[in-house]
């Protein structure tokens, strides 16, 4: 045993004489950090790094089998799912790892923002971090494309359509993005190169810069209300604090980091084991028209936003708003680089974070149910509720048939089933009068297509007769407002 340790020691010594690695790295690893930063709140950065490592390892494994060509990518994914040893599990880890990476990186960013860590002298650390975040979202989008299923194909369609809205250079952008005039083999090759070479290279380089800056400038101290950042005095005060009351990063702060890293990786592994891989869903055959494309969760909020924005604002928000938001995020430390760090003294920051988190999660939640999308098979898959056909006259029953056959329920629900694009039809008779119903059916309006050309007068009569029966027994039908009696003019 002693002999073995002795041999090991001499090998390490031999290496150290030549590389000097321990001599160089030991001060970096054991550098003092402010005592309070050895906190659970400070583990998200290293946890993100651990997930990135997990993504690299599983990504390389997947690349051993995955075929990045449009005619075989789908089959190679099915092979990974069904036949390759651990293939399905590795795909699942890569998918859940990517979800976890986006999530934990977002938490890291929120923590850093609320703790004021982006302020002087750590501006560049923040900027590198924002670029890392954008690259990670780039990985998320390109990774979704490599799944090469219906969602990938139509996701590219959405991406290209957004690019196509750019004035002047729109067409050029679309062709550069797709690698050709249309989504096809060359598109997949482009996204493969981006996902496997270009963006990972950028991520590794930026991670190096980010870590180097953290080491050079020190871990951000725990912010205290009233301790204002001043460019003249900050660095000296920080050095003094660290010298006076610092703890070595390794092992004091690193203990919690190691736990955090292990927990997020274990969580990704557990999700992968429980929920399995994602897709591929449906072959990427654009002639299959019953596709209902949905993005992965990171882009659900954007997907929802594009359904809910007033159409005339879309292009501006996509082409001006989004880049402006990114520039603002990058430039944040340049215009807010000094002053209070503590979130207790930065109400605007706290409210902004709450607002952004609330908006993004609400939009993502809406994206899951997509209430704006018509239920495409409502006309054939849903039955008219029995209560709405009991005791109805032949004309009204004819109307119920028309409602069913003309796919009204793609957008309107009845008895809780059907689309949510338009208002539910239960109780419609309490809101609209006979004349208003006819007008709405014939002319549409308020986001409803006009059915005047598609319905015969008899069909319109029947539909309206049926709709007029749709009200609870204890509620009166809608009545047209009685025009006020003209006041006699007094001379």
Q: How far is the CB of 219 from other proteins (least distance, A)?
A: 36
Please report the sign of the dihedral spanned by the C-alpha atoms of residue 172, residue 177, residue 179, residue 181: negative
Closer residue to other proteins (CB): 398 or 430: 398
| Burial class of 485 by CB neighbour count within 10 A (0 to 12, 13 to 18, 19+) | exposed
Between 166 and 185, how does the x/- string for binding to other proteins read (CB under 8 A)? Answer: x---xxxxxxx-xxxxxxxx
Report phi then psi at 151, rounded to 5: -60, -40
Selected from 56, 57, 267, 309, the binder of other proteins by CB under 8 A is 309
289 binding other proteins? (CB under 8 A): yes
Pairing of β 32-34 and β 246-248: antiparallel
- Going by C-alpha positions, the residue among 470, 393, 475 that lies closest to residue 425 is 470
Q: Angle at Cα 105 formed by Cα 104 and Cα 111, nearest 5°?
A: 90
Segment contacting other proteins by CB under 8 A, of 35-43, 281-289, 341-349, 457-465: 281-289
Q: What distance in Å separates the CA atoms of residue 424 and residue 407, rounded to the nearest whole number? A: 14
157 binding other proteins? (CB under 8 A): yes
Report 399-418 residues binding other proteins (CB under 8 A). 405-408, 410-411
CB 388 within 8 A of CB 468: no
Q: What distance in Å separates the CA atoms of residue 103 and residue 106, rounded to the nearest whole number? A: 5
Q: How far is the CB of 145 from other proteins (least distance, A)?
A: 12
Please report the sign of the dihedral spanned by the C-alpha atoms of residue 15, residue 17, residue 20, residue 22: positive
Selected from 71, 230, 239, 245, the binder of other proteins by CB under 8 A is 71
Q: How far is the CB of 75 from other proteins (least distance, A)?
A: 9
Number of chain residues interacting with other proteins (CB under 8 A): 70
What are 311's two structure tokens?
Answer: 């159409």
Q: How far is the CB of 206 from other proteins (least distance, A)?
A: 21
Selected from 435, 444, 458, 475, the binder of other proteins by CB under 8 A is 444
Selected from 137, 271, 397, 448, the binder of other proteins by CB under 8 A is 448
Contacts of 286 (CB under 8 A, 6+ apart): 153, 183
Between 117 and 156, how does the x/- string for binding to other proteins read (CB under 8 A)? Answer: ------------------------------------xx--
Cα separations (Å) of 255 from 36, 212, 260, 267? 14, 20, 9, 18
Segment contacting other proteins by CB under 8 A, of 253-261, 334-342, 424-432, 440-448: 440-448
CB 424 within 8 A of CB 411: no
| Burial class of 152 by CB neighbour count within 10 A (0 to 12, 13 to 18, 19+) | buried
Q: How far is the CB of 311 from other proteins (least distance, A)?
A: 5
Selected from 162, 364, 460, 465, the binder of other proteins by CB under 8 A is 162
What are 319's two structure tokens?
Answer: 């082409």
Q: What distance in Å separates the CA atoms of residue 338 and residue 227, rounded to the nearest whole number? A: 11
Q: How far is the CB of 402 from other proteins (least distance, A)?
A: 9
Closer residue to other proteins (CB): 208 or 452: 452
Closer residue to other proteins (CB): 69 or 475: 69
Q: Using CB under 8 A as the criterion, which residues of the chain lie in contact with other proteins when the complex forms?
A: 69-72, 74, 153-154, 157-158, 160-166, 170-176, 178-187, 283-287, 289-293, 303, 306-307, 309, 311, 314-315, 372-374, 376, 379, 405-408, 410-411, 421, 444, 447-451, 453-454
């Amino acid at each position: 045993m002693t002999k073995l340790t002795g041999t090991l020691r001499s090998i390490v010594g031999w290496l150290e004489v030549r590389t000097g690695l321990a001599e160089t790295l030991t001060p970096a690893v054991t550098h003092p950090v402010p005592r309070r930063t050895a906190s659970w709140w400070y583990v998200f950065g290293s946890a993100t790094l651990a997930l990135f490592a997990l993504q690299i390892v599983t990504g390389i494994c997947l690349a051993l089998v995955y075929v990045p060509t449009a005619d075989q990518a789908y089959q190679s994914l099915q092979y990974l799912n069904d036949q390759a040893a651990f293939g399905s599990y590795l795909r699942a880890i890569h998918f859940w790892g990517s979800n976890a990476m986006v999530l934990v990186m977002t938490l890291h960013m929120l923590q850093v923002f609320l703790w004021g860590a982006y302020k002087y002298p750590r501006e560049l650390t923040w900027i590198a971090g924002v670029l890392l975040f954008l690259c990670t979202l780039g990985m998320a989008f390109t990774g979704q494309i490599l799944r090469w299923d219906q969602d990938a194909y139509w996701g590219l369609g959405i991406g290209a359509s957004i690019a196509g809205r750019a004035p002047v250079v729109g067409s050029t952008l679309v062709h550069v993005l797709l690698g050709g005039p249309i989504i096809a083999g060359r598109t997949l090759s482009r996204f493969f190169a981006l996902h496997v070479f270009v963006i990972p290279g950028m991520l590794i380089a930026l991670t190096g810069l980010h870590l180097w800056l953290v080491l050079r400038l020190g871990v951000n101290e725990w912010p205290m209300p009233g301790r204002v950042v001043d460019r003249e005095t900050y660095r000296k005060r920080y050095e003094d604090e660290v010298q006076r009351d610092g703890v070595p990063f390794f092992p004091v702060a690193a203990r919690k980091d190691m736990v955090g890293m292990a927990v997020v990786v274990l969580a990704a592994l557990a999700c992968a084991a429980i929920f399995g891989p994602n897709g591929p869903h449906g072959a990427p055959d654009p002639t299959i028209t019953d596709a209902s494309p949905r993005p992965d969760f990171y882009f659900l909020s954007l997907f929802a936003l594009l359904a809910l924005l007033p159409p005339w604002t879309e292009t501006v928000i996509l082409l001006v708003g989004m880049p402006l938001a990114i520039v603002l995020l990058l430039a944040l430390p340049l215009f807010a680089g000094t002053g209070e760090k503590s979130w207790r003294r930065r109400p605007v920051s706290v409210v902004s974070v709450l607002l952004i988190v609330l908006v993004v999660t609400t939009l993502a939640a809406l994206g899951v149910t997509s209430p704006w999308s018509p239920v495409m098979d409502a006309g054939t898959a849903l039955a008219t509720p029995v209560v709405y056909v009991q005791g109805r006259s032949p004309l009204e029953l004819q109307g119920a048939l028309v409602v069913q056959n003309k796919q009204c329920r793609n957008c309107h629900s009845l008895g809780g089933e059907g689309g949510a694009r338009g208002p539910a039809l239960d109780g419609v008779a309490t809101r609209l009068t006979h004349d208003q119903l006819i007008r709405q059916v014939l002319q549409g309006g308020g986001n409803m297509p006009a059915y005047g050309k598609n319905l015969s007068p008899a069909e319109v009569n029947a539909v309206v007769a049926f709709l007029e029966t749709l009200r609870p027994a204890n509620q009166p039908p809608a009545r047209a407002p009685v025009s006020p009696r003209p006041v006699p003019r007094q001379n």
